[in-house]
Amino acid sequence: MKKKQGHAFSREDETVIHLFTDLGLPKNLAKTLIYISQEENCRSQDIEHGANLLQPQVSLAIQELRKKGWVKKYDKKKKGKGRPVHHYLLSKPLPDLVKTFEHEKNNEIETIRKNFNDLETLLRKEPV
């Protein structure tokens, strides 16, 4: 999944994004994650352009991905004066993050199964 020239996702990238969204990851997070996975160091502005997202969408996606521990932020100082620029990179290789996501989803499935079992047990009981 190497990034192509022209800041467009490949068909494979689009398929990966679609699979992530089918598994419950919001599309903006999936697009941001895939873009960052293809760049050594990228800025918010790069993500906006490369993933075809608006600045608020990127900010929210980055915030959520950082909260999950999937993306790290570091600052790069500009030449001369001025504020440093935020750059982003994955905290682990993408396949490792997929395993983390799979674990989260398996926990959700177990919780849902338990809730259905509890519900069935409660509904089988005779009213008092």
- Between 10 and 125, the more confident residue is 10
Quick: pLDDT tens for 36-66.
Answer: 999 878 999 999 999 999 999 999 999 999 9
Q: Which residue has the tokens 């990851």?
A: 25
SS3 state at 2: coil
Name residue 74's beta-bridge partners: 87
| 4: CB partners within 8 A, 6+ apart | 10
The conformation of residue 91, written as its DSSP 8-state character, comes to: S
Rounded to two decimals, what is the model's pTM?
0.83
Instruction: Please provide the average confidence, as pLDDT, over all residues in the chain.
Output: 90
* Residue 40, token pair as written in the block: 């050594």
- At 127 the pLDDT is 67
CATH 1.10.10.10 fits 11-91, yes or no: yes
Distance CA 128, CA 126 (A): 6
- At 44 the pLDDT is 93
Distance CA 78, CA 110 (A): 48
Distance CA 46, CA 53 (A): 10
